[in-house]
Each structure stands twice: as structure tokens, then as C-alpha cells.
Structure 1
Amino acid sequence: MPLLGVVFYFSKSPRYIPIEIIQAKVVSLFILTVILPILLYYLLKTIGVVKTINLETTKERIYPLILNGIVLLIVLQRILTPTQAIELYFFFVGILISNMACLLLAIIKFKASIHMIAVSGALMFFIALSIHFSININGTLALMCIIMGGVATSRLHLKAHTYKELIMGVFIGAFPQLILVNYWL
């Protein structure tokens, strides 16, 4: 979802940004937010910290969330500075806050839906971008709502989460993005 948010931002932003910079940012974010987490998962699985990709227990979620927080800090320090694209910077700050909230809940033995955190955070960012740039993206917003419903339905169908965990995931994903809009909108 972070990569989707970045690609969406660059496709809808009316600002002129050289294509080389866009490509460099997208490639580096792909490496840090897709490739590196996959490699870290296999490392954690090899050393026995996690059993499956599903991270079924709250105990299994702690180390992946800590490592994800570190990756997000690297992204904020090295790739997305507030001087280049303030919207993306605060999008990732919101993702970091959501990640830390999910980590805190995992520590106190509550398993919020990380899938719902990601989808609701991206949806809130898209809504804020449509307001900020005064663009009509109703189709995209409708599609994101359908995706959000599909994700929630699948998590319930697989019995991976309860209604409370899904609602908490939506809140944890959307609320930081909503609060941080005040800093860039």
C-alpha cells in the first residue's frame, strides 16, 4: 500500500517532478517496502521468530513490526524528505504512527488487522490528495472502498480476525492520516 500511495501521488500530482527523480524514488521505495520486508520475513522464519506469513499470534507480530518501523524511518530519513514532497513525507509519517500503534497493541496482546490498517490509510491519503489538488478521483475512491470491503470480508471468511480487530485496523490506519492532513493540506 505505501508503494501504491506513492505511485498514485506521482500520477495525480500537478507539480512538475523530473521523471528521473520519480523513477529513483519508486525503485528505491520498491526495494525498501517490498523486497526488504520479504527478505526480513525469510530471515525471521529461518531463525524461528515467525512460523507462517500470517503472523497468527501477537507475539509473532512484534519483531516484524519493529523491523518495519526501522524501514519506515530509513524511508523518511533518506528517500522522502519534507522539502521534496511534503504530502508523501506525511503519508509515511502516518504509516509509521500506524505501525507503532499496531506494535503497541501487539505488545498488549491485541491483534489489529494490518491489512485493514494499510487499506484504510491509503484510502484516507487518496481522499486528502483529492481535496488538496482539487481533483475528481471518485472512481478511485469507490474502487478503494470496494477493495476495503473485500479485504474485510476475506479476513472474516478466513477467520483471521474478528469484527473488533477489523474496526480497530480501520481506525489505526485512517486516524493518523486524518490528523497529519493538518500539516500539509
Structure 2
Amino acid sequence: MIDKILKSISFVFHPLIMPVLGVIFYFSKSPRFIPQEIIQAKLLSLGILTIILPVLLYFLLKTLGKVKSIYMPTSEERILPLALNCIVVIVILQRILTANQIVELYYFFLGILISTMTCLMLAVFKIKASIHMIGISGVFMFFIALSIHFSININGTLAIMSIITGAVATSRLHANAHTNVELILGFLVGMFPQLILVTYWL
């Protein structure tokens, strides 16, 4: 039973859904008036680019023999998918979330780009960082920044995010997917870019 729960946590809080989760949270908490049509268009575009497209690219890479498993257990398997993801995020920054539209989301995705590029560079040097932890810690830091930026009390949400972060780390350890060092490294790679970029929009 515990085994199934821990496995499901890795799927439910998969790194692919973290960017969209951050955007949904932003739109739900932002005091600014944003037309519903724009919100729906942004979410649809981001859903296609950050979830559907990476899944399709994974199956293409698997067909071509570039990756063997969705978990990408070796650093070599991570290089091409991470490079492609960097390109996707760059497209998002140039076409969907530009700096002159929604500044908070622009820097959120800029932080995602920096984290992804860092993870890519680590993979080139055969160093693994937990992508699950990169995703959850980046969103966690973004939530904290938004609570300060908009002066809103989301202590309950932050408490839940703390539990989820611990649960994700536990699930990855249980699956023998990462070591403690790789989990900590992933947490820092996801958190620090968001923390540093906060100074540009907070």
C-alpha cells in the first residue's frame, strides 16, 4: 500500500506539471484584473508546450533509441531531453510570457530556464540532480515570493507544499531513483534561481 502511494506521488507531482501549477496558482491569487480569455489562452498554450509537447518528444526520442526509460536513470539520457526543454522554455519566454506582459510569470519561467540549463550542464559532467526536486522546489519558492509580493496569507498552502516536497523526496528515495545528495542538489538547483530573480520583480 505504502509502495503504491509513494509511486503515485512521483506521477501526480511530476516535473512536467509544475510550471502550469505555478501559473494556475498565480492567476488564482493575483489581485490584478486579467481577462478570462487571456488566462484560458495562456493556460492552454502552456499546457501544450510544457506537458503535451514534452510527452510527444519523449516518445519520439524513445522510438529513435535516444532514451530507454521515462525516468532517464543515466546522465547521458538526460542531455537531449533537457536541451529540448530549454528550447521550449525559451519559446515560452519569447512568445507567451514576455517581460512586458506578466512580469511575475516571466521571471518564474526565466528561473525555470536557468534551473533546466543548470541541470543540463550537470548532466554533461555526469552529475545527476533530481528533476522532481527541481520542479517542486522552484514552485515552492515562487509561492513564497507571491505571498510576499501580493501581501497574502497562504500559510496553509505553504505548509501543504512543505509536506508535498518531503513526500516527493521520500518517493524518489523509496524508488532508489536518487541519493540524498542528488535530492538536495535538485532542491537547490530549483530554488536558487527563483530566489535570486525575486529581486527583479518583488
TM over 0.5: same fold? yes
2:173 is matched with which residue: 144, 156, 174?
156
Counterpart of 1:20 in structure 2 is 37
- Given the alignment of the two structures, is residue 9 of structure 1 paired with residue 40 of structure 2, yes or no? no
- List, as ranges, runs of 4+ consecutive aligned residues in structure 1 with deviation greater than 3 Å: none
Give the TM-score normalised by the residue count of structure 2: 0.91
Q: Which has the higher contact order (CA 8 A, sep 6+)?
A: 2
Question: Once the 2 structures are TM-superposed, how far is the Cα of residue 19 of structure 1 from its aligned partner?
Answer: 0.4
Structure 1: unaligned runs, 5 residues or longer: none
How far apart are the structure 2 equivalents of 1:69 and 1:40? Answer: 13
1:143 is matched with which residue: 150, 160, 166?
160
Give the TM-score normalised by the residue count of structure 1: 0.99
Q: Deviations over 1:99-141 (max 9, x none)?
A: 0000000000011000000000000000000000000011111
How far apart are the structure 2 equivalents of 1:85 and 1:124? Answer: 18
Q: Number of residues paired by the alignment?
A: 185
Counterpart of 2:129 in structure 1 is 112
Quote the RMSD (CA, aligned, Å): 0.4
How far apart are the structure 2 equivalents of 1:38 and 1:171? Answer: 26
Q: Which amino acid aligns with 2:95?
A: R
How far apart are the structure 2 equivalents of 1:42 and 1:89? Answer: 29
2:114 is matched with which residue: 72, 77, 97?
97
Counterpart of 2:101 in structure 1 is 84
Question: Once the 2 structures are TM-superposed, how far is the Cα of residue 60 of structure 1 from its aligned partner?
Answer: 0.2
Counterpart of 1:34 in structure 2 is 51
- Given the alignment of the two structures, is residue 48 of structure 1 paired with residue 65 of structure 2, yes or no? yes
Q: Deviations over 1:82-111 (max 9, x none)?
A: 111100000000000000000000000011
Counterpart of 1:131 in structure 2 is 148
How far apart are the structure 1 equivalents of 2:48 and 2:173? Answer: 31
Structure 2: unaligned runs, 5 residues or longer: 1-17
Q: Which amino acid aligns with 2:140?
A: L
